[in-house]
Structures are given as C-alpha cells and as structure tokens.
Amino acid sequence: MPQYTPPLRDMQFVIHELFRVTEQLKDIPKHAEVDADTINAVLEEGGKFASEVVFPLNRTGDEQGCTLNKETHEVTTPAGFKEAYAKYVEGGWPALSCDPEYGGQGLPFVLNQCFYEMLNSANQAWTMYPGLSHGAYEALHAHGTPEQKKLFLPKLVSGVWTGTMCLTEPHCGTDLGLLRTKAEPQADGTYRITGNKIFISAGEHDMAENIIHLVLARLPDAPQGSKGISLFLVPKYKVKPDGSLGERNGIYCGGLEHKMGIHGNATAQLVLDGAVGTLVGEPNKGLPAMFVMMNAARLGVGNQSLGLTEVAYQNALAYAKERLQMRALSGPKAKDKPADPIIVHPDVRKMLLTAKAYAEGGRAVAIYCTMLLDKELYHPDEKVRKDSEEIVALLTPIVKAFLTDNGHIATNACMQVFGGHGYIQEWGMEQFVRDNRINMIYEGTNTVQSLDLLGRKVLGNNGATLKKFGKLVAQLVEEEGVNEKMAEFINPVAYLGDQLTKFTTEIGFKAFQNPDEVGGAAVDYLRVLGHLVFGYFWARMAQVALQQIEAGNTDPFYQAKLQTARFYFARLFPETATLMRTARSGVGVLLDTDAALA
C-alpha cells in the first residue's frame, strides 16, 4: 500500500531559508504580520489533513470512480469523498488565501500553494473539486459585478458551493474561437444559454449544495472567432436574491468520461438547455475574464504534477531500501542478507534522484511564482507589481508544461523502481502514472504552453521579460562567480544563460522568415528555458546549503540538498545541449514529410 509524509522540512527550507518569504511579506501591508510560526503551523495542520483525511481515499477513489444516475443526472462521488470535503469546509481550508471581505482568511498565496501540493500528493482527483473553485473565485473576484460578488463569493470562499470552468465543446478544444454555445438575452437582464460542453472536471457531484459554472458562450450579434466570446455565470441551482437556493437550472450532466486516470473526479459532459445565466465582465470579452481562471488553473496543474512527483518518489525510495535483488557490482553491501537492497544499484539511484531533483526544483519554482502573485496583487510599489506580473506570465507555461513533463518522467521512473510490482495495482505506483498523464494535456496541452512561451512571452516582446529573468541569473553569477565551491552549480547556469540569448535570437530570425519555425522549436525551447529556471533555483539552493555547512550546521538535510544539486547538474541539466541542437535542425524535417505521412 502507498504511503505519504508531507515534505514540511523542504517546504520550510524553500520558504524561510531560500526565499525568506516573511521578510518579503513585510513590504506588503496586508501580509506584514504573517510570521514563520504562523506559516509553519498552517502547513503542519494542512499536512495532517492531506495525509490523514484525503490520502486514504486515493486508491479507493480510483477503484470506485464516480457514478451517474442517468434519470436524475446526479453524480455520486466515491465513498468518503463527500465526508472528507465536509471536513475540509469545517476546517476553513477553502478560505485560506481568499479576501477577508468575503469571509476569507487573507493569508499569502504561498500557504495555499504548499497546502495544495500536499493535497495533490494525497489525492489529485479529490483535490480537483475544491481546486477548481479557487479559479472560479479568482475570476469572479476580478471581473464579477458587485451583485455577483456579494451573492456568490462568500459561498465559494466558505466552500459551501464549488465552481467549474466550462470551455471545451465536442468540436472545439484549444481553439475556443470555434465554440458554438449560444446565449440569448432576456428582458430581465439574464441570458438563456444553450449548448454542450465536454471534459468539465468536477462538473457534477454530490459534495457541495451548489455548483457555480463559468461558461463561455456567444451572444446573437457576436463577431466570429475568439473576439466574439462572452463569459456567463450559470449555477446548478438558481440563486435567490437572499442567497438561498431556488429551482434546478437548465444545466445537467449528460454523461461521464471514461478515462485513463483521476477516476475519482467527475469529468462531465454538460448539457445546457436554456440554462439561466448572468454576464461576467463585458460582452464579447469573456476570454480575458476566463484567462484569470485559466492561468490560475495552469499554475494549479503544475502543482498537481509536483504533488504526484513527490509522493511517487517517497514510495519508490522506501521500496528501494527494502527490496532485495542481486548484489552490487562492486561486491555485497548487505552481507547478512541473501541479496542487496536495490538502492545500491546506480541506475535505481538515478531514477530516485531524478524524481527528487524534479520535485525539489519544482517546489522552489512553484513557491516563487506564488510569492510573485502576492506581490503582483498587493505590493504598494507599482513597479514591483508590474515586474512581478511579467515574470509570473513568463513562468506560468513553464510551471504548467515543464513540471508536468517532469512529473511524467518522474512517476514513470518511480514505477520502474518497483519492477513488475510497479505495474500492478497493489503498490499504487501505476495510479500515479495514470493520474499524472492528464496534466500534460488539459488547460492547454504542453505544446500550446510552449507556443505561448516562445511566441507570446519571449518573441512577442522581443525578449524583454526574458531579459528581466536573465538579470536575476546574472546577479547570482556575479555574486558567486569567484566562489570555487559554487563553480559546479554556477558555471552551467552562466553558460546556458549566454547560450539561450543566442538561441532565442536565432529562432526569432528564422521565425521572421517562416512563422512555422516557432512551432518546430517551441517544445524544445520550453524545456531549455525550464532547465535554466530550475538551474537558477538549484544553484540558489546549493548556495544556501553551502553557507549552512560552512557555518557549522551538521543537519544532514544540507548535505542531501548539495548531493541532489550535483546530480541535477550532472545528469539532467545537460539535456539542454541536445534540445538546442534538435530545435536548430529547423522545421523542414517536420513539414517536408508528405511522403512519410501519406
């Protein structure tokens, strides 16, 4: 049976030692009083909830899945899901980082990030129910009318109601300009919405008394394409002016998707049959409003793979220490046993360290992004807000795509550690692989994220934002460039930073001549930049660890951090050389292939 221990020590290292978050929060008035004790206490209790309440439901939820009553269109979640959600609401967890004006606790996003990492490790399918509600809350908080905010936000903040995002249609996935769902204006200011949506995570369930759907649809006079899309708030049950529930709305579940993983989450086919909704934001400007939710979701999806990478690593490590197979090539290590534990074998260690390096590197990046979100929204200095917004925008596709690709690599490696036992259900490893696989697909496939990164975030502003991140790298290189003990961590980052400038310029020049060059290079480019980002944070983590060791700190945690950093730079970071070479091969070998693909 799988096991899970919240990685509180590493979270505290990243928050308190690497980023000194509480010092940075002092510059933000609303968070100035948040101290380390508060952060640690919340994380400890959050870890208990994740490991003791949610984690035990992961395997049974996968086995049972969700059940649709085709007559009533109601969905029943796996045993224990509803009760666990009630405890989640009772504990005040939905309100953690929400606005106090609507009943939230107003704590920093960093805390929510770490809590949700632990929930994702414990049970990604369950966590998606409350996770999507956060995105709905953010979209309404940013673009809702005063009436919508007053009526809906307190219920979302408390967790009494949950939320979804309804974008995809049977003929329309990423290309939202093709969507056909219609919204007809009514005399009372509401809209009647008709259409079909598919792949709606948590689209129907029995865990909350109401579900607030944020639906993309077209007004009768809307222009064609993505510029003619509006956003509507469509509740499962109509809501009366006093906040009480009215009659059932015309939106219902027509079917559940039968899918590879996340069986405990209801991925619904939703039918809108004259459902009553209200407009969110301005007519024909629904995408900017929905992108608030989508960007939150993209960061959340990266966090899902981070959670699965961590829990897969923990279980593979425990198994490798106990499983006896063969002897070490250099001679027996466990002479009192008939064979050595497989952790003595170099390739097993390579697989374990791959997962560990991607988990700890991903944690640093994810926490850094949420720290920037707090600055973007609440810092009193306008320049700090703007710079933070730009860096978050640059890093969002990396968090979504690089972390989920790494999660795929890591969960598969950890399953491999188990050999044949990893392939059967008993040990739980194959579920981590299956659950993670969707993370590379939804909220914009990783190819779409790569196109967004290279086409919009880098070439779209001539590399201005990339240069801002490059200054952070250059600052670290200048700070530690003469420190011989840091050379093995600094030199690779400095070299790649220099190479990336030339690499980006070269792709930009090719794209100017042939835009398809962006499509041919984008996926490789994202992984190169992803490694630069990881390399920067791994160098900073090594810097902190070395400083602690030199100061006489004998905690083995710091030696472990250095050893993992060495492995990352020696075995994973060099992938960038191959990626730049394949990207430079050009788009011709991909497009001049009509005979091969006939």
How far is Cα 287 from Cα 269, in angstroms, rounded to an integer?
21
How far is Cα 494 from Cα 498, in angstroms, rounded to an integer?
6
Residue type (1 letter), 505: T
Chain position carrying tokens 């788009």:
587
Task: Point out the catalytic residue in the list 443, 484, 488, 517.
Answer: 443
Q: Is 443 a catalytic residue?
A: yes
End-to-end Cα separation, the chain, in angstroms: 48
Residue-by-residue DSSP string for 367-389: HHHHHHHHHHHH-S-HHHHHHHH
Measuring CA to CA, how many Å separate 289 from each of 138, 313, 387, 549? Answer: 10, 37, 21, 48
Nearest to 545 by CA among 501, 481, 485: 485
How far is Cα 58 from Cα 104, in angstroms, rounded to an integer?
28
Cβ neighbours for 488, distance < 8 A, ≥ 6 positions apart: 566, 569
| CA–CA–CA angle 590, 592, 593 (5° rounding) | 75
Q: Is 189 left (phi over 0), alpha (psi -120 to 50) or beta?
A: left
Residue-by-residue DSSP string for 50-94: IIIIIGGGHHHHHHH--EEETTTTEEEPPTTHHHHHHHHHHTTGG
Q: Which residues are catalytic?
A: 443
